[in-house]
């Protein structure tokens, strides 16, 4: 975040987590808030602009994922304020403080959007797992639990995105061979 003193300021609270720990947790949460807002808008960018033979299913998938991210935006911002912090959640703050790279604006094909989103979901998932450990180390099991909830959904969504890419990757690794299903399974 641009101004650590600004992003870590606290308001009086009777919550029993020490102020120094809360201040550090608020900084972590505000970093997550920026990244979550950014990931949501990047997912909507893909939703609006996807083209190709898988248009409809990807259009719907991207919209569903963006809706889930919107819920996490609210949960993270509310946790900041519950700890006595100030949530920094404007679009400008998110853009300037996100850990994610800018979304490519020159892609249309569904596979390219899936790849771009999968890359960003992987980075975001790593950030979330690191936040679980940091907030737990700071003695805030509730925030660590919030991050754990987010982590489960993000990993599931990354799996959904990667599933669209894995057949092509398997074919590329094996020449043009396709994966055969055993006769017993058919």
Q: Which of 151, 172, 162, 178 is nearest to 68 (CA)?
A: 151
Q: What is the pLDDT along the chain (186 residues), one digit of tens a residue?
A: 445 556 567 998 899 999 999 999 999 999 999 999 999 999 999 999 999 999 999 999 999 999 999 999 999 999 999 999 999 999 999 989 999 999 999 999 999 999 999 999 999 999 999 999 999 999 999 999 999 999 999 999 999 999 999 865 556 666 654 544 344 434
Domain-located, residue 179: no
Task: Say if 185 falls within a structural domain.
Answer: no
What 3-state class would DSSP assign to 128?
Answer: helix
Asked if residue 82 belongs to a domain, the reply is yes
Residue 32's domain comprises 4-173
CB-CB contact of 107 with 33 (8 Å): no
pLDDT at 184: 44
In Å, what is the CA distance from 54 to each residue of 51, 57, 123?
A: 7, 6, 25
Answer yes or no: is 77 within a domain.
Answer: yes
If one counts the domains in the chain, the total is: 1
What's the pLDDT at 70? Answer: 97
**Residue 111 covered by a domain:** yes
Location of structure tokens 């987010």: 150
The answer to whether residue 150 sits within a structural domain is yes
In a domain, 28, yes or no: yes
Question: Is 184 part of a structural domain of the chain?
Answer: no
What pLDDT, on a 0 to 100 scale, did the predictor assign at position 78? 98
CATH number at residue 146: 1.20.1260.10
Q: How much is the pTM?
A: 0.87
* pLDDT at residue number 9: 79
- Predicted pLDDT at 84: 96
């Amino acid at each position: 975040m641009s101004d650590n003193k600004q992003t870590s300021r606290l308001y009086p609270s009777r919550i029993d987590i020490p102020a120094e720990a809360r201040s550090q947790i608020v900084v972590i949460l505000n970093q997550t808030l920026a990244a979550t807002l950014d990931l949501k808008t990047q997912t909507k960018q893909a939703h609006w602009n996807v083209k190709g033979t898988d248009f409809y299913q990807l259009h719907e998938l991207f919209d569903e994922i963006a809706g889930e991210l919107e819920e996490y935006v609210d949960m993270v911002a509310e946790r900041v304020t519950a700890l006595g912090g100030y949530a920094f959640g404007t679009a400008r703050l998110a853009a300037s403080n996100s850990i994610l790279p800018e979304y490519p604006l020159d892609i249309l094909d569904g596979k390219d959007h899936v790849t771009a989103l999968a890359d960003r979901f992987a980075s975001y998932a790593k950030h979330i797992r690191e936040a679980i450990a940091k907030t737990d180390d700071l003695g805030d099991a509730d925030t660590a639990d919030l991050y754990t909830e987010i982590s489960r959904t993000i990993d599931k969504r990354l799996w959904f995105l990667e599933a669209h890419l894995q057949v092509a990757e398997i074919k590329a690794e094996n020449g043009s061979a396709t994966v055969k299903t055993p006769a017993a399974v058919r």
